[in-house]
């Protein structure tokens, strides 16, 4: 009876409940420096409660916020990451050292009485965007801070944390991915500074013309060789052996004692509630250092800086100047290859490039990882066992094409294209749409047999898309239809079915119904990382939905961009849409048009590299072109093929591009995004790419 009472008391404070199938991970967390909390990560991307006092911390990496142009090959533009933010200015370092040496209070001595990461500093950076605006106002009597103290400029904030002895703030991850944080899009009135300038949008460095430029360049700096080769020293300060103790004292890296884990046991103060409340309030105000993860120096990252003195010098690419085309594989069938799926990770049971033709003949072509062999002494393309793709033996020998032919009839009005198919991440199943009975179907790639029929739409299913996979192969599948709706489904990697109940595989229920289009849905892309679905209909704007079915916004392009045909979305939140007649647009998921271009080709396939920085296009002209995704600057043009391109995909290592051709063959190309970016950055202004 006593036990049930305890359960009832617990239930009265119930925060929420979730299905086990929806939970992706559960982690123990600290709260007020005590290990008393849990954080639950959900499949639909909702996160449970998160403590702003333990917000992720990122370093300032640049020091130059004044120049018109920023050269990321100049060491002087980068911060010394071996020192805490408070010790970068020598005069300030002396002040903090004196404070520590002359400490005369009863508490342990420290260099800094404020912290590099607090709830207040997080809200300071994110004050312009919700829900942080509301959090800030709730914590400050429903008022914004004094305009002089409000975050109003990047350069101003950098100067402040180099001169003010009470300011040692580091940055937060949003500085490297969220341009919206610098824009006062809600029009808040934040007052005027003492110099009479109103606080509105954040003032950017001269080298960044818009917030997207700042985020992109700041991230390039973070991922540069200068930062890579010394980031381990910053990790030592924040998470490692210099976080506390004698090494911290020597590094001028000691903070208030209540910022450290284990400094106080709140349970021991249960008999003195006023004292406990006072200490809890102090912990919340002074900040919390992360758990100390290392007691020895963090090893340096393997970096190109260890091999050559200048980052990304031509020496890095000297041995990478390879031929563009690795191989051409011609299938016995002359049917156009309309879908290519390169699931080539080495841990798969069968790393392969799965191809599907217009006549729905598929091939599971084994993948051989030959990247390490290319360019090696004695390497010859004529050696077939060195080629990356080996043709499916059942197709090559014409010995079992019945196991490779999808014979079920599709609706005669359907135009077969790359978006009619999805291949699961393990290469074991193929999903096909376009059937007259308004279903889409699942087939085994091993036997070619039908394993599941999925109903849900009121008209023919016209397109399919798959999200990136979770551990175990689970992923989202989205189906679009002539009924102008989309349905979001869950693919179970464990049971190899749509839905998570093998006892009800005949009637799986969609996770969400996505509405808003007025015409037949023709293209769709889904990103589980961001929890969004972006879709396009025969006419009208593309729509952004959450994976729970909420319509977020429409992506309105220029007047000439009204017939979307292809969509690719990156986990960074950028959406590339190809419209009819060669029109391309790059949108942020918040609806801002970032770039636009027109090409002299009818694109049939587009894809983004895994980091979202590169766009690859191919179409009827038979030419593969590579573009910088942020501004559509051309990086590379391959020699033209003798047939149109119908589909394409990248190998897992982003080193090989495989294209499906209208002639019934596939072509494997060498890819070198890093070299092309280097050549682009060092190309004289106005100089065009050489003709191939």
pLDDT for the residue 53 = 87
CB burial string 289-327: b at 16+ within 10 A, e below: bbebeeeeebeeeebbbeeeeebbeeebeeeeeeebebb
Short-list 523, 634, 19, 36, CA closest to 283: 36
pLDDT for the residue 356 = 96
- On the CB side of 533, CA atoms within 13 Å amount to 32
Q: What angle do CA 587, 590, 595 make, to 5 degrees?
A: 20
- Domain annotation for the chain: domains and CATH numbers: 20-255+287-308 (1.10.1540.10), 336-371+386-601 (2.130.10.10)
pLDDT for the residue 323 = 83
Beta-bridged to residue 435, according to DSSP, are 410
Only one residue has tokens 């594989």, namely 329
Cβ pair 283, 32 in contact under 8 A = yes
pLDDT for the residue 268 = 81
- On the CB side of 374, CA atoms within 13 Å amount to 20
pLDDT for the residue 628 = 92
pLDDT for the residue 657 = 95
pLDDT for the residue 197 = 92
Contacting residues for 310 by C-beta, under 8 A, at least 6 apart: 73
Split the chain (692 residues) into runs of 10 and give each run's mean pLDDT.
47 67 82 83 73 91 94 92 93 93 90 91 94 92 93 95 91 94 94 92 95 94 91 94 93 90 81 83 83 88 50 38 82 92 92 95 90 46 67 86 88 91 95 96 94 96 93 90 96 90 83 95 94 94 94 91 93 90 92 93 94 93 94 92 94 94 94 82 53 48
pLDDT for the residue 643 = 93
Tokens, residue 649: 């995909």
Rounded Cα–Cα distance for residues 596 and 586 (Å) = 6
pLDDT for the residue 370 = 67
Secondary structure class of 29 (helix, strand, coil): strand
Rg of the chain (C-alpha set): 28
Tokens, residue 418: 């790359």
């Amino acid at each position: 009876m006593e036990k049930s009472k305890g359960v009832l008391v617990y239930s009265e404070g119930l925060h929420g409940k979730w299905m086990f199938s929806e939970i992706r991970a559960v982690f123990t967390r600290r709260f007020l420096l005590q290990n008393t909390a849990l954080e639950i990560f959900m499949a639909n991307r909702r996160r449970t409660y998160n403590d702003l006092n333990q917000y992720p911390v990122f370093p300032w990496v640049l020091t130059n916020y004044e120049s018109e142009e920023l050269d990321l090959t100049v060491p002087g533009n980068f911060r010394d990451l071996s020192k805490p933010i408070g010790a970068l200015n020598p005069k300030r370092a002396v002040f903090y050292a004196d404070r520590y040496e002359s400490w005369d209070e009863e508490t342990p001595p420290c260099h800094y009485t404020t912290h590099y990461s607090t709830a207040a500093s997080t809200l300071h950076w994110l004050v312009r965007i919700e829900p942080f605006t509301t959090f800030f106002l709730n914590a400050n009597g429903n008022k914004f801070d004094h305009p002089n103290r409000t975050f109003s400029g990047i350069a101003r904030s950098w100067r402040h944390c180099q001169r003010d002895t009470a300011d040692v703030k580091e940055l937060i991850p949003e500085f490297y991915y969220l341009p919206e944080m610098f824009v006062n899009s809600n029009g808040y009135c934040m007052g005027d500074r003492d110099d009479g300038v109103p606080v509105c949008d954040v003032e950017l460095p001269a080298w960044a013309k818009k917030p997207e430029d700042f985020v992109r360049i700041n991230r390039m700096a973070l991922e540069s060789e200068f930062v890579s080769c010394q980031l381990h020293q910053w990790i030592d300060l924040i998470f490692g052996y210099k976080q506390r103790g004698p090494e911290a004292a020597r590094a001028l890296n000691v903070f208030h004692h209540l910022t450290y884990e284990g400094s106080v046991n709140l349970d021991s103060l249960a008999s003195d509630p006023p004292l406990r409340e006072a200490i809890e309030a102090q912990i919340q105000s002074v900040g919390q250092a992360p758990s100390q993860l290392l007691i020895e120096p963090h090893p340096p990252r393997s970096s190109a800086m260890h091999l050559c003195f200048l980052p990304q010098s031509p020496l890095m690419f000297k041995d990478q100047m390879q031929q563009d085309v690795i191989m051409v594989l011609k299938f016995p069938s002359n049917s156009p290859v309309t879908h290519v799926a390169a699931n080539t990770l080495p841990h798969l049971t069968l790393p392969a490039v799965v191809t599907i033709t217009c006549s729905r003949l598929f091939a599971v072509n084994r993948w051989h990882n030959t990247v390490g062999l290319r360019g090696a002494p004695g390497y010859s393309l004529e050696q077939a066992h060195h080629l990356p793709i080996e043709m499916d033996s059942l197709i090559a020998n014409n010995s079992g094409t019945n196991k490779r032919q999808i014979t079920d009839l599709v609706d005669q009005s359907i135009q077969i294209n790359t978006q009619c198919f999805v291949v699961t991440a393990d290469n074991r199943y193929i999903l096909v749409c376009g059937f007259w009975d308004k279903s889409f179907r699942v087939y085994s790639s091993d036997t070619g047999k039908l394993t599941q029929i999925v109903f849900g739409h009121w008209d023919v299913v016209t397109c399919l898309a798959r999200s990136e996979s979770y551990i175990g192969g689970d992923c989202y599948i989205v189906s679009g239809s002539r009924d102008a709706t989309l349905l979001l489904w869950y693919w179970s990697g464990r049971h190899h079915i749509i839905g998570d109940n093998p006892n009800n595989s005949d009637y799986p229920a969609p996770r969400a119904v996505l509405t808003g289009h007025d015409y037949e849905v023709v293209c769709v892309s889904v990103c589980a990382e961001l929890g969004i679905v972006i879709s396009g209909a025969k006419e009208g704007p593309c729509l952004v939905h959450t994976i729970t079915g909420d319509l977020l916004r429409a992506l309105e392009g220029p007047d000439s961009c009204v017939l979307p045909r292809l969509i690719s979305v990156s986990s960074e939140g950028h959406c590339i849409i190809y419209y009819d007649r060669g029109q391309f647009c790059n949108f942020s998921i918040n609806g801002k048009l970032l770039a636009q271009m027109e090409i002299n080709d009818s694109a049939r396939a587009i894809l983004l590299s895994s980091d979202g920085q590169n766009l690859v296009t191919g179409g009827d002209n038979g030419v593969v072109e590579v573009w910088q995704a942020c501004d559509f600057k051309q990086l590379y043009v391959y020699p033209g093929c003798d047939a149109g391109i119908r589909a394409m995909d990248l190998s897992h290592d982003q080193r090989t591009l495989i294209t499906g051709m209208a002639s019934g063959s596939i072509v494997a190309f060498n890819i070198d995004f890093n070299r092309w970016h280097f050549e682009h950055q060092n190309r004289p202004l106005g100089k065009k790419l050489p003709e191939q």
